[in-house]
Structure 1
Amino acid sequence: MNDQAAVLREKVLKKHQNSLRNCKTLAVLSGKGGVGKSNLSLNLSLALTKQKQRVLLFDMDIGMGNIDILIGQTASYTMVDLLEKKLSIQQIIKKGPQDLAYVAGGTGISSVFEWSPSDLAHLIQELNSLTNQYDYMIFDMGAGMSESVLKFLKAVDEMIVVTTPEPTSITDAYAAIKLAASYSVSAPVRLIINKTLSEKEGNQTYERFNRAVQQFLNVSISLLGIVPDDQAVQKAVNRQIPFLLQDPKSKASTSLVDMVNILVPQDDRTATNTQGMFIRRLKRFFLER
């Protein structure tokens, strides 16, 4: 009888803990296109779902979105419909592989964040309706760093910056972090070094980059992961299948799994309502005068 009571108490405790889990908001950005940001956003999201995390991936590059293309799907509704037709967020969320929820970017708007106050109010209201439905919201940001993008970055819990070892990519990533710092964006920054020839090259790239941002921007960044230049990635893109699913044992896939092992154990979302804070920050930066 005592054993049954103990089991029951454990079940109730787990149910209570699950109900208190809150959504972590991550913005994935890069200083320039062509570094594999969207592909990494997608596969990182899938790696999180493999760890039983509930993930909603937003393609925020309206007009040039490609998340649905990378998984070989066509979304019935997109962010454009959310704004223009004032649809609910539930109407535009589509299920991808491995039960991944995503919102396609769509076409028809030249800039993702240059929205009217009514558009922003509707978006914030719909995001607020997702309370306790997801463990992570991942925002695959578009190119450019407008004032609206910077306001959005001030609201998220963390930023993930994607770069490659190429000097132009490093320079652009540095410029993005510099601009964010100048706008008082205080979200912690994690770095992903993509398309590296070796782990040594990736570590050296991070060390040089981190020294520069610490010295000149007074910003400390952590290394989330190093992704090797892997032929499995391009093959998967050509087949419109995420590389984590097509070749889960590839070096690139293994690196994504390692990143999730860094992200998930560090999260304690039972103590603080992180999604509520995200929504409050959005309202403050976008709607309040």
Structure 2
Amino acid sequence: LETINILYVTDPTRRLLGVLSVRDLLLAEEDDLIEDIMDPNVVWVSTMDDKEDAAQALSKYGFLAMPVVDLENRLVGIVTVDDAMDVIEEETTEDFSKMAAVAPSDDSYFKTSVFTHAKNRIAWLLILMLSATLTGAIVNKYQSAFAAVPVLVSFLSMLSGTGGNCGSQTSTLVIRGMALGEIRMKDFFKVMWKEFRVALLCSVILAIVNAIRIILVYHGDTSVDCYKLAFTVSMAIMATVVLSKLIACMLPMAAKKLHLDPAIMAAPLITTIVDTCSTLIFFTLATIVFDIK
């Protein structure tokens, strides 16, 4: 009843046999049989399929409607393009919430109470806060590096910010590609190889610009070797960018493999992991380059 353009052909037991349009009927000869003018190759979805998969199928094939069959291939209903739009909007909103480390809510922003907003956010905030203590532990371990080269502290926020931004870029693209069906689990190593090459190009450019900036700024500072500092920070940036992009493409795909929503592996979690790794890499390089015991 939702569409008059598309007609589905069934047998007496409601088994789906084919599809035809009103146009096919109007252009058919008077004595043509339905089985002669219908298309037997019907694309359908099952009652057991996820509604997001049905919406993606409608988008993929450009259909205005699609039949729904049960496990015995009997026609039980249809889904239309407006149904798909509602599902896509709902799923997109849910993914955005998860990518921002917020539990999804069924109500709109203003209809959701302050208490519910806080409840939806606090769990992830606690997890991320506690996990960030690893970064603090690494910083405490390398206090001798601070004492020997105090200027190292000023580059921590830049490194963590750069790593988080790179990870967010990659995770957003990978999660979107997976949602649209462009990226599948069989593409795991293909995606890693592509992101590795992208990371190399980006990291080299960032490292060169950063090295030039450090040399220009600290060239006249006798308290620090500007060339060693430029080398240390630039190498740390390269390692951080490569690591963050690889982590950001692997985690969502690993989540999919474990039947978890890839969106939960987005920006906040990736940023926390990259922060810890980049801090460790930075101070390890600093102790080696500056020969800090």
Q: TM-score normalised to the size of structure 2?
A: 0.24
Between the two structures, name the one with larger relative contact order (CA 8 Å, sep ≥ 6). Answer: 1
Structure number with higher strand proportion: 1
Relative to the length of structure 1, the TM-score reads 0.24
